Amino acid sequence: MRAVDLATHPGHLARRLQQAHHLLWNTMVSEEITSPQYAVLNALVAEPGLDQRTVGERVGLDRSTIAEVVARLIRRELVAKVRDPRDGRRCLLRVTDDGMRTHARLTVRTARMNQVLLAPLSAEDQSVFLDLIRRVADAAEQLRDPVAPAERTRMDRR
């Protein structure tokens, strides 16, 4: 048996890219606020008053992860939960004033970090690269469906 060329394995390359992103995030953006926490802040700045489930869908986080991310943001007083005035059982999320300032500061830093991360690529290659990884990431969201593809096919035939 021969060793495989991991340079042809998307998962291996994705892990290496994630390591580079994590290193750049911690050195250029924040050691306190994580990338998923920033994504949640960003989603709530874009669409204030979303519920937790919807925010998780917007940023691609599963139910347990979004719950933990939101809890941490609430503890840091960057996000607050408020009762939905139309449905008292439902909580909506809003960014606090401190959260807005944090988001603004981190947005500038993330722009710089993204420039460094994508620097090896031309402007055209950057656009193609982002489109390709977005397409793969969007398709991967379908993998979260708890119904197996073969079972889904059988169910569709009924």
The Cα–Cα gap between 89 and 100 comes to 26
| Domain boundaries 7-143, CATH class | mainly alpha
Domain ranges of the chain: 7-143
Dump pLDDT digits (tens) for 91-113: 999 999 999 999 999 999 999 99
The Cα–Cα gap between 109 and 120 comes to 19
Residues 6+ apart with CB under 8 A from 19: none
| CA-based radius of gyration for the chain | 19
The Cα–Cα gap between 90 and 111 comes to 34
This prediction has a pTM of: 0.85
Dump pLDDT digits (tens) for 33-46: 999 999 999 999 99
The Cα–Cα gap between 33 and 27 comes to 12
